[in-house]
Structure 1
């Protein structure tokens, strides 16, 4: 059976195909020329940007590695100093902290707090107060550590400064809910007593005694001091009596 094949191609279709091939070839040539011009004009710039990007990334990795290594060394120094403190070797602890002297950052501030605490233990209150004062005035230190340094500085110099100065410095911290409310509050209450303001002192101590978020030992001490000043610091009498009976009852059962 014979197939009916066209003896020749449609001239118009052939012409369109040829034109399409020609257009594609022209487009390819134009694009290649544009790429060549772009590479010639911007190629060096792009290579430079790429190289700079690699250099910056490599520099960051190097800096990050050094920072991490420095933090590890600082942590090791602090741990070694604390080990000396626990062993009762305060001079050794201060010596271990020497590498952190003059550095910035949290590790240096913690080292200063340890050094100040060692000075207090050694009876060098003035030296300790000077260190605490530097921490309290350090704008780069976390506010929590600055407040802690303020409380300890006032405690270290309490016998040598005027009660009014102690009250002025600690009143902003002697507020329920503040991290150092109890410590600052007790010092402010003592300053009130030196001024003869027993009612103010008792009221503040009663507030400390009623704060459930504080340790019971601290609350008990504040409760007794407030009671001695004539201020009732007991909200739940039955609960307080139960707390007083529990240790005694435990002793009786042990016997």
Structure 2
């Protein structure tokens, strides 16, 4: 007799499906119960963290927008002051007044830039004492960027050079009058002249020679110090005899003949 396969009956299939559904419902209920317990235990702290994060993000976005807007306003006001300055005359006074509040607003760089421009206007107006005072104040401002402070120091000393004791000039410019400093040429030239005022050519000559050989120094400064160094007997990187010979040859050369007048039209 043939054996029949051992297949589940339809009732068994229905029972198995019911069991699977029941197990899924139980598992779902357990998960919901776990989530409910987690929510009851950690819901408030999590909500607080989310709210705090959103508030922090909103605050940062507002601060960034306000900062950018303030920077744009400062830039616009500085540009307006420069436009007035370019007109000269009475407009320079208006530009100086526009810059005065900017010297107290914005970041350190913006304040230093406004202070530098304001002092430069005073110098152009012949108010040298006030200009030197403002340049000196900027040079001593520890919050200002160093390039502004260095330039302000150089400007203040150059304005007061004729009235300052040579020793004070040398002392104040000492940080700048060193090879490698961006202001070595200008600061070194003033320092060397101060040494000459003190009767110390042995200190002025080597400094002038070093400036004359410094390719980063302004060409106009190198030309002046090379001539002075040569007069003191120091090698500044050029042959002074050749320069003098070239000058004599140029002076002795005959003047070029005048160009012939164009022929008159018939």
Mark yes or no: TM-score above 0.5.
Answer: yes
SS in 1 for 2:181: coil
Q: Does residue 218 of structure 2 align to residue 215 of structure 1? A: yes
Greater radius of gyration (CA): 2
TM-score (normalizing by structure 2): 0.78
Matched, 1:205 2:181: no
1:131-173 superposed Cα distances (whole Å, 9 cap, x missing partner): 1222122221111111111111212222232211111121121
1:191 pairs with 2:194: yes
RMSD: 3.5
Q: CA deviation at 1:88?
A: 2.3
Q: Which moved more, 1:14-23 or 1:85-94?
A: 14-23
How far the C-alpha of 1:191 sits from its partner, in A, is: 1.1
Change in CA separation of 1:217 and 1:133 when aligned onto 2, cut-off 3 Å: closer
Separation of aligned partners in 1, 2:217 and 2:100: 36
Q: Deviations over 1:81-101 (max 9, x none)?
A: 222333324212202213314
Deviations 1:217-244 (A, max 9, x none): 2211111122232322134679979x98
Query: Which residue is 2:263 aligned to?
Result: none
Asked whether the equivalents of residues 78 and 107 of structure 1 are also in contact (C-alpha less than 8 Å), the reply is: no
Aligned to 2:81: 81
Aligned pair in 2 of structure 1 residues 96, 4: CA closer, same or farther (>3 Å)? farther
1:129 is matched with 132
1:145 corresponds to 2:148? yes
CA contact 1:182–1:208 (8 Å) conserved in 2: yes
Structure-2 change in CA distance of 1:31 and 1:160 (3 Å): same
| Structure 1 pair 225–92 and aligned structure 2 pair: CA distance change class (3 A) | farther
Counterpart in 1 of 2:98?
96
Are residue 36 (structure 1) and residue 39 (structure 2) matched? no
Report how far residue 17 of structure 1 moved: 9.1
Q: Which moved more, 1:125-134 or 1:181-190?
A: 125-134
Alpha-carbon distance, 1:24 to partner: 5.4
Partner of 1:226: 229
Which whole-Å deviations, capped at 9, do the CAs of 1:4-33 have from their partners, x for residues lacking one? 553436xxxx99998877665544333221
2:161 equivalent in structure 1: 158
State the number of aligned residues.
247
For 2:67, the equivalent position in structure 1 comes to 67
Q: Are the counterparts in 2 of residues 207 and 233 from structure 1 also a CA contact under 8 Å?
A: yes
Shift of 1:67: 1.1
Contact 1:199–1:231, Cα closer than 8 Å, also in 2: no
